[in-house]
Amino acid sequence: MKYLLLFVIFISDIVSLHAQTADTVEYFMDYEGNTCGPDSAYYYRLAYKDGEWWKVKDFYLLEKVKRMDGYFKTYSNGMFDNKQGMFFYYHPNGSLDYKVRYINNIREGLLKAYNDKGRIIDSSLYKEDQLTKFRYKWNDAGNVICKGVYDAEGSGKGTEEYFFDNGSLSAKGNVIYTEHKDSIWTYYHNNGQVSCTEQYEYGRCTERKCYDMTGKLEGDCEEMIPPYYNKKRNNRYHIVDPDLLDDVQADYVTFTVKILIDADGRVLDAEMLTKALATNLFYKRAMQHLMHMPRWTPGKEHNRPVKMYTDLWVTVVRRL
């Protein structure tokens, strides 16, 4: 109860930006996790000594719920380091995002991740921070979208297959050291034709060939093209809503969002990256505007349209 009270006091701006004693540390953080002032903060961090280690809890400021909970071994020069034990991460609605165990800052054991409705979307086994034995990922409907089989010794070497939501093969290839692609990776259009082949050497792509929907060779192409809203690709959007501005007593408000665009160009989700000096109601109504944006040109990855995040600069104005 003591620490919940401190949190309430902080978001009410009753105390100063930084407060620190020999066994308690608390401060605001921006979207990237850097220390900042309250006006640009997305998160609030509270840490206190619990025996030899530091118990660290992060909170979403806007939603006023926990974001992360775990132990760090050291705190020095304003930085926490060396994760120890179970770490729990949460969605903004308060539901569990994922959980994983650390031993001396290294993932060890089973990682499980969930969507914001509580459905499992990732189950991965780690040994000394390397994927081992298996990994499965599911979409929100419960269909397998990734299957990985890895060396049981924990070298991170293995094979991975990815699937479209309808179950057809999307990509396959080899990995080393868990995260690095190796040898040949093949990607497919949703009609089963090859869309792209890539040759890798220890995580570095040395050759890429792309094919159209009929399987005809097109030559080289970019690995990824982000989605864009207009032909200038500046991804700027104006919301005309005088009532929304009256709510915050401003002539205009500008902020940046991370926006998710599906393979058909529709907006699926949006999340603020730079905090607007506004109310929770302002945030919700602005997000409603964005969810009804006109169609985008979808992003492309390995020569096929895919669901992808990008940044959007938004200005709420009284008139265009």
* Residue 10 CB neighbours (<10 A): 23
Does residue 177 share a domain with residue 256? no
Domain boundary, last residue among 162, 195, 221: 221
* Residue 107 CB neighbours (<10 A): 21
Question: Closest Cα partner for 224 from 155, 153, 298, 172?
Answer: 298
Does residue 283 share a domain with residue 194? no
Q: Tens-of-pLDDT digits for all 320 residues of the chain?
A: 444 444 544 444 433 444 566 799 999 999 889 999 988 888 999 999 999 999 999 999 988 999 999 999 999 988 999 999 999 999 999 999 999 999 999 999 999 999 999 999 999 999 999 999 999 999 999 999 999 999 999 899 999 999 998 899 999 999 999 889 999 999 999 999 999 999 999 889 999 999 999 999 998 889 999 999 988 888 999 999 998 888 888 899 899 999 999 999 999 999 888 766 667 778 888 899 999 999 999 999 999 999 999 999 999 999 98
CATH of the domain at 270: 3.30.2420
In the chain, how many domains are there?
2
> What pLDDT was estimated at residue 276?
63
Residue 9 located in a structural domain: no
As given in the structure block, the two tokens for residue 167 are: 């179950």
| DSSP sequence for 223-260 | SEE--BSSTT---EEEEE-HHHHHHHT-S-EEEEEEEE
pTM: 0.81
Residue 144 located in a structural domain: yes
> What pLDDT was estimated at residue 230?
86
Query: 235 near 296, Cβ under 8 Å?
Result: no
CATH of the domain at 141: 3.90.930.1
Q: Which residue has the tokens 């607007």?
A: 276
Could you tell me the residue range of the domain that residue 120 belongs to?
Answer: 108-221
As given in the structure block, the two tokens for residue 303 are: 């020569």
| Exposure on the CB side of residue 65, measured as CA atoms within 13 A | 10
